[in-house]
Amino acid sequence: MEIYYTSLTSGTARYYLGSTAAGLAFVGTPNAELTEIYQFYSTATLIQDESANLPAKQPLAEYLQGTRRQFDLSLDMENGTDLQRSVWQALLKIPRGTTLSYSELAQQIDRPGAVRAVATAVARNPLLIVVPCHRVTLKSGQLGQYRGGSPMKHRLLKLEGACL
């Protein structure tokens, strides 16, 4: 699989973006190395290509600056299991400014007994921010884990106007 990558700088953070012919496939953790992509696409061939990521770069920068409320991007989410893809599709339906618990998310995809598997699928989301896994919290209301770290999760939810 060929993934065309570039980087985006927003404030003091650098994000790597990776796209395939089908669309955006990866948004990296702030200030992580490009090799993070191999955690999601272990056999990928990486090709530096600014133009392949232009459709996502500006909208993501605008979102991080607080001037964009939603994304309308082609996404490539084919590199997951059926369960992962169903969880990622469900994440896209969580409205901006709201949160959902892992158990509520499991119920939404008709897998109420698979809360741990759903949580694992959320954690395996390769499209940080764009597929809003930051909107999933613990049943207790605590933020829980996040690939970008708890401070980033809190910042994104605050940016979206979520009640914390």
Give catalytic status of residue 163 as yes or no: no
64/46 Cα distance (integer angstroms): 25
Catalytic annotation, pick one of 119, 128, 133, 136: 133
DSSP codes of every residue in 77-115: --SS-HHHHHHHHHHTTSPTT--EEHHHHHHHTT-TT-H
What's the token pair of residue 137? 């919290």
Q: Which residues of 78-92 are buried (b: 16+ CB within 10 A; e: fewer)?
A: ebbeebbebbbebbe
Active site residues: 133
